[in-house]
Structure 1
Amino acid sequence: MLVDALKAESYRFSLNRVLVFISVLLTPLLFAIGGVLFHWVSKINGDKAAQAAKLNVAAPSEAVNLGDVFGFAAAGCANGFVLICVLIAAATLYAGDYRWETWRLISARNDRTSLLLAKVGVVKLIAIISSLFFLAASLIFFLAQAMVYQRGLSFSVPAGDIGGIALTWLLSYVRIVQFTLIGLLAAVMTRSLLAALIVPWALGFIQSLAGQLGPALFGMDPGGWTLQLLLPGLAYDTLKAAVEGPLDAPLTGAVVWKALTGLTLWTILPLAGALAWFRKQDLSKE
């Protein structure tokens, strides 16, 4: 039942080329183009500054390590622009059947849990595909750096870094899914596409303000239970910092567990709430 629903939702989504472009291709495309322009403009400005100072700057001899692409992409594939682009597709998937009043047509052909989980499954696939395209865009960014600055290429990934890169990618993937699940809960409770779009964004904006103002104005500990449980973005950043390596003030195991608990709850509770609400919902007019 779930497999059938997943196939149907995947097919429906694939037909919407605008959504596919926005959620999967837009961010990597802009990043790749922006990366090339960034290196080109930086090179021009650097050369102008060197000429003005009458300096003879030799071309850098250090090769660009393409192995760094994996860590770079893993750390960046859950950036704010990706979250918004994937949210647009997720909100359309989650609230589209309310908007077009098609729930009563498809709910008779499958159980409600499978239908909703299939939509979540498609969003998870979008997150994975989006991260792969961001990896390709990161590769273009590094290649452009080598070409513009006339540097050689190398490839090396220390064995000890592979696990950290995989964990960072997993955290980024969970962060994308967690952010969109807020939209799922909003869509089910309000039956509104607009709410599914605005609620996660507005909540994320408020949480980011709380993360900045809480410690400064109220003396709240960023590593304490309150902020780690209330702010999934902070929990994600904490876990990513723990995975990426030692800091000036190394994170303790207690802080990591608090962050892990916070991010897990913000992932599970919206999904559980949406499923519970949807199972009791009257869809006779939807």
Structure 2
Amino acid sequence: MISVLSAEATKLLRHRATWFLVWIYPLGMIAVFFIALMLDFFGAGEAPSEPQTAEGWVRDSAVIWQLATSNFGRFLIAAYAAVAIAGEYGWNTWKLIVPHRARRALLGSKLITVFALLYLGLGLAGLLTAGLSWVQDRLTGDSIPDGVTLAAVLEMQGLAALATLLPMLFTLAYAALAAVLTRSMVATLVIAIVVGTAEQLFTAYAGIFYPSAPGLISALYHFLPGYHLANLIEWIVEGQGMDVALPGGGGPLGWQASLAVAGGWAAGLIALTLWRFQRQDIN
């Protein structure tokens, strides 16, 4: 398995898509830093902004992780999965490597490598955001709020990374299934956009449709992963969950329930993808 992972990492690191879909995060943070620095130096006529609190400064240092849980960020994750998995069908290379390795090892190594590279890119971007924010404050003469410590920054980075884990895994899971079923990068991305958008829209507006079919809407709201992913993020970052957005829904569900539902969806989709790939005619 180690050799398969190494080969997959070598292949993806050389792929141009990795620059645009993985390294774009740290490179984007560097670009934002220089733009903000120029605005600070040449925006002398602007009114001074309100002083920032230590909590706000530390939260802003981990803002890049929120991108991975947004619609746009999840589309980028799905696009990278499409390139890595569906791309093998387009390049007609699956039939060259499948006879030499177990199919589950091949697909599993792709999922692990894509996940690890995305996490690495976001992690580097998060650390760069914190470091460059400190440098910017020093260069522009802005005071760093009292209470900003390395321990606080690293703790926030860790919480943000943990909160991103399941949303990223779920996105990767349904994108991988779409890639195996459609064998097309374009179709995979389109399906990912539709699924991701529908999931977030339903979570946000379920309360509007609740009076028409309360039993069905309530069942879907609690069964689908949308609310549970958002609830887990709130529990991890804020220490309290997100209220159920249905009439009479009450307070937030416990993190254990949301972890079970969201984790079950991710595990189930990955298992289905591996099973389908195992039985697929590659020729």
The bucket for the TM-score relative to the shorter chain is: 0.7 to 0.9
Aligned to 1:3: 2
Which residue pairs with 1:196 in the alignment? 188
1:42-81 CA deviation, whole Å, 9 max, x = no partner? 8977944x4xxxxxx6995978997656654555554444
Aligned residue type for 1:138: T
Q: Does 1:112 align with 2:95?
A: no
Aligned residue number for residue 203 of structure 2: 211
Structure 2 gaps of 5+ residues are 245-250
Within 5 A, what are the aligned runs for 1:9-20?
9-16=8-15, 18-20=16-18
- Once residues 6 and 135 of structure 1 are traced to their aligned partners in structure 2, the CA distance between those partners, rounded to angstroms, is 25
CA distance, structure 2, for counterparts of residue 117 and residue 218 of structure 1: 40
1:239 counterpart residue number: 232
* Counterpart check, 1:271 vs 2:270: yes
2:163 aligned with 1:171: yes
User: How far apart in 1 are the matches of 2:55 and 2:195?
Assistant: 40
SS at match of 2:101: coil
Instruction: Tell me, in whole angstroms, the C-alpha distance in 1 between the residues paired with 2:76 and 2:236.
Output: 26
Provide closer, same or farther for how the CA distance between residues 94 and 58 of structure 1 changes in structure 2, counting only shifts above 3 A. closer
Give the stretch that moved more between structures: 59-68 or 258-267.
Answer: 59-68
Q: Which amino acid is the alignment partner of residue 236 of structure 1?
A: L
| Displacement of 1:227 | 1.8
Tell me what 2:142 maps to: 150
Question: For the structure 1 residues 39 and 227, does the alpha-carbon distance in structure 2 shift closer, same or farther, using more than 3 Å as the test?
Answer: farther
Which AA in structure 1 matches 2:264? L
1:215-238 CA distances to partner (integer Å, 9 max, x unpaired)? 1332579xx663243133x32221
Matched, 1:180 2:172: yes
Q: Which amino acid aligns with 1:227?
A: Y
2 CA distance for matches of 1:147 and 1:128? 30
* Residues 241-264 of structure 1, C-alpha deviations (whole Å, 9 max, x = no match): 112235698896744233212211
Name the count of aligned residue pairs: 271
Instruction: Report deviation, 1:23.
Output: 1.9
Q: Does structure 2 conserve the Cα–Cα contact (< 8 Å) formed by 1:229 and 1:262?
A: yes
Indicate how the Cα distance of structure 1 residues 59 and 266 shifts in structure 2: closer, same or farther if over 3 A, else same.
closer
After superposition, what is the alpha-carbon deviation per residue over 1:95-132, rounded to whole angstroms, capped at 9, x for unaligned? 12211112121011101110110111111211221222
Give the distance between the partners of 1:248 and 1:112, measured in 2 at CA.
39
Query: How large is the RMSD of aligned CA atoms in angstroms?
Result: 3.7
Q: In 1, are the aligned partners of 2:232 and 2:258 still within 8 Å (CA)?
A: yes
Match of 1:256?
255
Structure 1 residues 73 and 97: alpha-carbon distance in aligned structure 2, compared to 1, 3 A threshold: closer
Q: Does 1:227 align with 2:218?
A: no
1:26 corresponds to which of 24, 34, 59: 24
Give 2:85's match in structure 1, choosing from 94, 97, 117. 94
Unaligned runs of 5+ in 1: 51-56
